[in-house]
């Protein structure tokens, strides 16, 4: 990363400023980690029983709640959980971690670092970026459908509550978004115990009804899913669009792996969460099967809350609402984390990031994302009004992301793990068949609301790729105009007056002379006694060890090049690292140090590197990006900004 043509030696210095690999990961015994995982990781999939089973029968493609369809749907739910969640994510994908971190961007960074230069690598990168874009659509729908479905349980307590469902749901979500800036560390301590109570209640309600009709247990036989397709092929395919709601949140197991580890998530899923969910689904089926058709047609519109006796329904509504708030919190936190990764990897402009916990690097708050999500979630609730209507929009983003994860894991199996292609092909084909079947079934929802997450996904994808492409073009233009450092140092020291102090020139490239330095010398005709050319590099790994944090090169004549390395999960703090650096002459003192930043203004080009509308979009994003001063935590009274004009 250092400039190989410069005079002097290149060395690596260790600092103790930022925690090394593993910072921010959960700590404690296996029991504590399992409880923590239950509280955070399984909120989304854990609240699916509120609406998944109901939507299959009372949604946009209703089915009669008779024995064939009840057993067929329950069998589909069980085997979907086994194939998609247990086998695909827990057993396979969660083994593909990027130094402990999971999620589409972490997996993409891992693949990119190992396969850079391959013909198909660009296509894989675009797929990974699109999966990230789809996540933003999912992060808007999940809080809306979860909280709304829980509050709708009030109508099973008293029908007159119906008119209050929307205002109550909106009020709860506004309150949730309002407290994000204060951090969730303290509230998070309650998540695990509350969700354990919630899953225990789910299991108990299910067992109670299963004991009354144990015949429902035969639905665990895959034959009933097969028979459902044989006898009701078209309707069974449409039903998959609702059945998939039972596995939404599966990707959260992988994305949150860095916080809890693969083993605690796997143990909590297999031992506690999976049994509780299936017992509840089987209990809902057993209750419907024990009723006559007329009663079943009424019950199927809200089977989850009707599992409880009338006197316990209000407490169940309160508990379910708490669970959906926890699920929403997990999704919001996930949106913050994904955004931070995307910023560090160069797909999103710098945004203001606030740390809400001194003890955990993962506790962050991004105002722009928080308020944007809040507005969209409220608009969704007001527009769709019921969780059933929202269910039509839900699922397509999740199934799309799952299909992309299959493509990414195929690359991992063959190119990173070196599996035999003939052994990997059947496994990949099986995953792809299931994912594409669910995605195809969800495409039928597009006219009824499925267009929304697709629209959000395409907008986000356009923004992410435009920023990445525009940034690459701008860096290339600046690199073309850069002067070799060796030539500059030899000529500058003889023509400029040296003044006391240290000047730090921030540059995105670890080669050439920064434009800010050229402008400063041209207009002010002076050079500081010590000149630092500083570049912050983001690695394709979540964390960089202290030993590799700082690289420096002595360029001679008081010039030094410093490269500070961070992982994409870390938070840059330039003054803190410089304060620990002892290899560039005297110690750094902020009151004697000036930071020079270049602010680029884009000009129209005769030969644009991308479409004009994308250039204008990139220029708008560049103007509204967070200042490098705040992003790198530079002292506000020691920063000088110098403008430059660039054609892309």
Give per-residue pLDDT as tens, 326-342.
999 888 888 888 898 88
Work out the percent of the chain whose per-residue pLDDT is above 90.
Answer: 40
Say what the pTM is: 0.84
pLDDT surpassing 60 at residue 504: yes
**Is 132 a residue whose pLDDT tops 70?**
yes
* 281 closest CA partner among 50, 523, 20: 50
What does the pLDDT look like over 32-51, one tens digit per residue?
788 878 888 898 899 999 99
Choose between 253 and 135: higher pLDDT.
135
User: What's the CA gap between 588 and 458, in Å, rounded?
Assistant: 46
Q: Which tokens go with 599?
A: 């602010």
β-strand partners of 108: none
Count of other CB atoms within 10 angstroms of residue 43: 26
Q: What are the Cα distances from residue 313, in Å, to 18, 156, 272, 284, 305?
A: 49, 7, 23, 15, 6
Spatial neighbors of 60 by CB under 8 A, at least 6 apart, are 391, 392, 445, 448
Residue 514: its pLDDT value, please? 84
Residue 27 CA to residue 29 CA, distance in Å, equals 7
What residues form DSSP beta bridges with 645?
A: 601
> Would strands 10-13 and 550-556 be described as parallel, antiparallel, or unpaired?
antiparallel
The H or E element spanning position 498 is strand 497-506
How far is 237 from 426, CA to CA, in rounded Å? Answer: 23
Is a pLDDT exceeding 50 seen at residue 361?
yes
pLDDT in tens, 213-233: 999 999 999 999 999 999 988
pLDDT digits (tens, 9 = 90+) for 561-610: 999 999 888 888 899 899 888 778 788 888 889 999 887 777 766 667 78
**Helices 165-178 and 121-151: crossing angle, nearest 10°?**
130
| CA 213 – CA 208 distance, rounded (Å) | 9
Longest alpha-carbon distance in the chain: 97
Average pLDDT taken over every residue of the chain: 85
| pLDDT higher than 80, residue 14 | no
Q: Which residue has the higher pLDDT, 487 or 71?
A: 71
pLDDT in tens, 448-498: 888 999 999 999 999 999 999 988 888 888 777 667 788 888 777 777 888
Does residue 377 have a pLDDT over 90?
yes
Question: Phi then psi for 12, rounded to 5 degrees?
Answer: -115, 135
pLDDT at 481: 66
C-alpha span between 363 and 355 (Å, rounded)? 6
Return the pLDDT at 601. 74
Q: Band of the pLDDT at 12, cuts 50, 70, 90? A: low
Residue pLDDT, tens place only, 148-196: 999 999 998 888 888 899 999 999 999 999 988 877 666 666 788 999 9
Q: What angle do CA 295, 300, 303 make, to 5 degrees?
A: 110
So what's the pLDDT on residue 541? 82
Residue 292: how many other CB atoms lie within 10 Å: 7
Contact criterion met (CB below 8 Å) for 425 and 461: no
Q: How confident is the model at residue 20 (pLDDT cuts 50, 70, 90)?
A: very low
β-pairing verdict for 593-603 and 497-506: parallel
Would you place residue 119 in the very low, low, confident or very high pLDDT band (cuts 50, 70, 90)?
low
Residue 627 or 90, more confident: 90
| Contact indicator for 259, 34 with CB cutoff of 8 Å | no
What is the band of 306 on the pLDDT scale with cuts at 50, 70, 90? very high
Q: What is the mean pLDDT of residues 132-149?
A: 91
- The reported pLDDT for the residue numbered 563 is 92
Which of 174-178, 254-258, 444-448 is most confident? 174-178
Whole-number Å distance between alpha carbons of 395 and 379: 19
Q: Is 164 helix (H, G, I), strand (E, B) or coil?
A: helix
Confirm if 94 and 84 have CB atoms less than 8 A apart.
no
Is pLDDT above 80 for 398?
yes
Domains defined for the chain, CATH in brackets: 10-18+476-647 (no CATH), 41-449 (1.20.1740.10)
Is-contact 185 40, C-beta < 8 A?
Answer: no
- Give 277-287 pLDDT, tens digit per residue: 999 999 999 99
How far CA 282 is from CA of 38, 106, 210, 601, in Å, comes to 21, 36, 7, 61
| pLDDT computed for residue 13 by the predictor | 56
Q: Residue 358: pLDDT band by 50, 70, 90 thresholds?
A: low
**26: confidence class by pLDDT, cuts 50, 70, 90:** very low
């Amino acid at each position: 990363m250092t400039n190989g043509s410069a005079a002097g030696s290149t060395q690596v210095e260790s600092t103790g400023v930022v925690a090394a690999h593993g910072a921010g990961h959960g700590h404690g015994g296996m029991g504590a980690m399992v409880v923590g995982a239950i509280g955070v990781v399984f909120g989304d999939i854990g609240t699916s029983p509120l609406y998944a089973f109901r939507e299959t029968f009372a949604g946009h493609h209703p089915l009669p709640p008779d024995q064939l369809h009840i057993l067929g749907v329950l069998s589909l739910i069980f085997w979907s959980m086994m194939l998609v969640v247990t086998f695909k994510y827990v057993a396979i994908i969660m083994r593909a971690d990027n130094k402990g971190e999971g999620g589409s961007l972490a997996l993409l960074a891992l693949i990119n670092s190992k396969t850079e230069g391959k013909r198909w690598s660009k296509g894989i990168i675009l797929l990974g970026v699109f999966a990230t874009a789809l996540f933003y659509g999912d992060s808007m729908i999940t809080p809306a459908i979860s909280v709304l479905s829980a509050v709708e349980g009030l109508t099973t307590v008293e029908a007159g509550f119906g008119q209050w469902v929307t205002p109550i749901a909106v009020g709860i979500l506004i309150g949730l978004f309002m407290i994000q800036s204060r951090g969730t560390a303290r509230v998070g301590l309650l998540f695990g115990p509350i969700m354990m109570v919630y899953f225990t209640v789910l299991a108990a309600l299910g067992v109670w009804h299963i004991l009354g009709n144990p015949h429902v247990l035969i639905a665990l036989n895959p034959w009933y899913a097969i028979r459902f397709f044989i006898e009701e092929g078209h309707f069974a395919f449409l039903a998959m669009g609702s059945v998939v709601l039972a596995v939404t949140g599966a990707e959260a197991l992988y994305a949150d792996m860095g916080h809890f580890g693969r083993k605690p998530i796997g143990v909590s899923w297999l031992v506690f969460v999976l049994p509780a969910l299936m017992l509840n689904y089987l209990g809902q089926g057993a209750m419907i099967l024990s009723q006559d058709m007329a009663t079943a047609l009424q019950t199927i519109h809200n089977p989850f809350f009707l599992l409880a006796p009338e006197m316990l329904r209000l407490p169940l509504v309160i508990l379910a609402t708490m669970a959906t708030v926890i699920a929403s919190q997990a999704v919001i936190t996930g949106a913050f984390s994904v955004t931070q990764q995307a910023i560090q990897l160069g797909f999103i402009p710098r945004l203001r990031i606030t740390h809400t916990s001194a003890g955990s690097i993962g506790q962050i708050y991004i105002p722009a994302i928080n308020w944007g999500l809040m507005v969209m979630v409220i608009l969704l609730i007001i527009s769709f009004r019921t969780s059933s209507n929202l269910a039509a929009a839900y699922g397509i983003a999740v199934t799309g992301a799952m299909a992309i994860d299959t493509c990414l894991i195929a690359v991992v199996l063959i190119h990173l793990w070196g599996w035999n292609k003939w052994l990997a092909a059947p496994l990949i084909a099986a995953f792809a068949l299931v994912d594409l079947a669910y995605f195809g079934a969800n495409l039928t929802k597009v006219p009824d609301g499925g267009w929304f997450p697709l629209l959000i996904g395409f907008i986000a994808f356009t923004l992410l790729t435009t920023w990445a492409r525009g940034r690459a073009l701008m860096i290339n233009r600046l690199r073309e105009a850069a002067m070799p450092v060796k030539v500059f140092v030899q000529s500058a020291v003889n023509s400029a007056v040296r003044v006391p102090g240290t000047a730090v020139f921030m540059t995105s490239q670890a080669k050439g002379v920064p434009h800010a330095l050229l402008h400063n010398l041209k207009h002010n005709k002076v050079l500081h006694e010590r000149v630092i050319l500083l570049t912050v590099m983001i690695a394709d790994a979540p964390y960089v060890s202290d030993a590799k944090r700082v690289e420096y090169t002595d360029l001679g004549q008081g010039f030094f090049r410093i490269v500070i390395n961070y992982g994409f999960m870390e938070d840059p703090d330039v003054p803190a690292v410089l304060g620990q650096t002892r290899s560039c002459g005297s110690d750094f003192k902020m009151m004697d140090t000036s930071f020079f930043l270049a602010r680029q203004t884009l000009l129209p080009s005769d030969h644009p590197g991308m479409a004009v509308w994308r250039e204008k979009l990139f220029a708008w994003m560049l103007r509204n990006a967070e200042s490098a001063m705040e992003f790198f935590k530079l002292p506000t009274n020691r920063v000088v900004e110098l403008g430059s004009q660039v054609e892309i």
